[in-house]
């Protein structure tokens, strides 16, 4: 049932058609100067599109990427399209958990970041442990999408001068999962020979990714309760045609031919949230706050006790790394 409702919702709202319908009520966004935005995973796709749109409007843009060559190429692209804009490259692999706090500490000595955009994300499939496990033996999707993203967010929140906005790019895929508070939270030495259906090491990582994206929504909501001076927003870009989609979901990519949004359209709500003052703690699609659950389909998972277990897990990982 959850899949049926999700597909109907997706075809109606997440596609190019959904964007075209929603964007009829969009108004022009203001220009901003004197604002600095750090975007993770901004060398391609939605992150790069957001960086370009923000640079165009006068923001100083910090690209936090794991590959220097790809990041420099992205920086040059932005400068070519928007000459004179302020763009900086920083190296950060968000799955390398012990490197995140030192990254933020060093960065904060030289720059003040007003807006953090947690955009980096992945859906790595397969049972090859060299690809699926990090150096600390965490499953790589969980390390990148949930744990690393949380550690980065908390590290920024522990600075003397904290960002006024934090935006996390989740996914409509999260509608298919209810919160599993322990999912991916512990290291492991080996991948199981037979992939488990409900564990974080299933061969096809679609479910892992969806759970990670649900976890992002939950931790952003929980952080909202604790940090009143920062505006937290989680958003869903819709279905935008990017390298990630082509490589990680080739069948879905083919099936949806002609219905994909462009990366620019996927990035629109990131830019909107970066420029406009909005209510903190909401989940956004196409510049509107939307439900985080498919009503009756969600069934449990969202109890405060489950949330508390999840946040405790994340906090102990934050303390460890």
Ligand X SMILES: NC(=O)c1ccc[n+]([C@@H]2O[C@H](COP(=O)([O-])OP(=O)(O)OC[C@H]3O[C@@H](n4cnc5c(N)ncnc54)[C@H](OP(=O)(O)O)[C@@H]3O)[C@@H](O)[C@H]2O)c1
Structure tokens at 192: 């199981």
Our CB check for ligand X shows the closer of 41 and 200 to be: 41
Question: Is 93 a binder of ligand X (CB under 6 A)?
Answer: yes
Rounded CA-CA distance 75/61 in Å is: 9
Task: Tell me how many residues contact ligand X (CB under 6 A).
Answer: 30
List the beta strands (DSSP E) in 250-317.
Answer: 282-285, 288-289
Least distance in angstroms from the C-beta of 205 to ligand X: 11
Least distance in angstroms from the C-beta of 78 to ligand X: 14
Are 153 and 223 in contact by the 8 Å Cβ rule? The answer is yes
Q: Give the CB-side neighbour count of residue 78, counting CA atoms within 13 A.
A: 32
Query: Known catalytic residue: 209?
Result: yes
Question: Is 153 a binder of ligand X (CB under 6 A)?
Answer: no
Q: Determine which residue in the list 243, 276, 308, 315 makes contact with ligand X, applying CB under 6 A.
A: 243
Question: Is 144 a binder of ligand X (CB under 6 A)?
Answer: yes
* Tally: H helices and E strands in the chain: 13, 8
Question: Is 268 a binder of ligand X (CB under 6 A)?
Answer: no
DSSP single-letter state for residue 63: E
Residues 6+ apart with CB under 8 A from 86: 55, 60, 61
Our CB check for ligand X shows the closer of 6 and 304 to be: 6
Least distance in angstroms from the C-beta of 232 to ligand X: 16
Our CB check for ligand X shows the closer of 67 and 186 to be: 67
Question: Is 273 a binder of ligand X (CB under 6 A)?
Answer: no
Are 48 and 73 in contact by the 8 Å Cβ rule? The answer is no
| Interacting residue ranges for ligand X, rule: CB under 6 A | 40-41, 43-47, 65-67, 70, 92-95, 119-122, 144, 169, 171, 237, 239-240, 242-245, 266
Q: Show which residues are catalytic.
A: 209
């Amino acid at each position: 049932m959850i899949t049926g409702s999700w597909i109907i919702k997706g075809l109606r709202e997440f596609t190019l058609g959904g964007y075209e319908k929603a964007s009829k009520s969009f108004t022009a966004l203001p220009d901003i100067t004197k604002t600095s935005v750090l975007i993770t995973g901004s060398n391609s796709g939605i992150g790069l599109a957001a960086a370009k749109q923000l640079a165009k409007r006068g923001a100083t843009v910090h690209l936090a990427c794991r590959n220097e060559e790809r990041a420099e190429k992205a920086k040059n692209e932005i400068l070519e399209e928007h000459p004179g804009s302020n763009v900086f490259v920083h190296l950060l692999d968000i799955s390398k958990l012990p490197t995140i706090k030192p990254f933020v500490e060093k960065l904060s000595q030289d720059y003040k970041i007003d807006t953090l955009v947690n955009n980096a994300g992945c859906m790595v499939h397969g049972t090859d442990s060299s690809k699926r496990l990090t150096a600390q033996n965490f499953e790589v999707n969980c390390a990148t999408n949930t744990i690393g993203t949380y550690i980065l967010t908390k590290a920024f929140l522990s600075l003397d001068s904290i960002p006024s906005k934090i935006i996390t790019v989740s996914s409509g895929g999260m509608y298919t999962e209810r919160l599993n508070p322990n999912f991916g939270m512990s290291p492991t030495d080996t991948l199981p020979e037979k992939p488990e259906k409900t564990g974080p090491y299933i061969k096809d990582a679609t479910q892992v990714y969806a759970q990670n994206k649900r976890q992002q929504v939950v931790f952003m909501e929980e952080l909202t309760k604790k940090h009143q001076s920062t505006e937290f927003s989680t958003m869903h870009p819709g279905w935008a045609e990017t390298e990630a989609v082509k490589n990680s979901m080739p069948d879905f990519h083919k099936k949806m031919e002609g219905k994909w949004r462009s990366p620019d359209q996927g990035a629109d709500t990131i830019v909107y949230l970066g420029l406009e003052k909005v209510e903190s703690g909401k989940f956004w699609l196409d510049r509107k706050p939307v439900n985080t659950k498919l009503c009756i389909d969600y069934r449990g998972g969202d109890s405060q006790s489950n949330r508390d277990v999840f946040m405790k897990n994340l906090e102990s990982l934050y303390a460890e790394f």
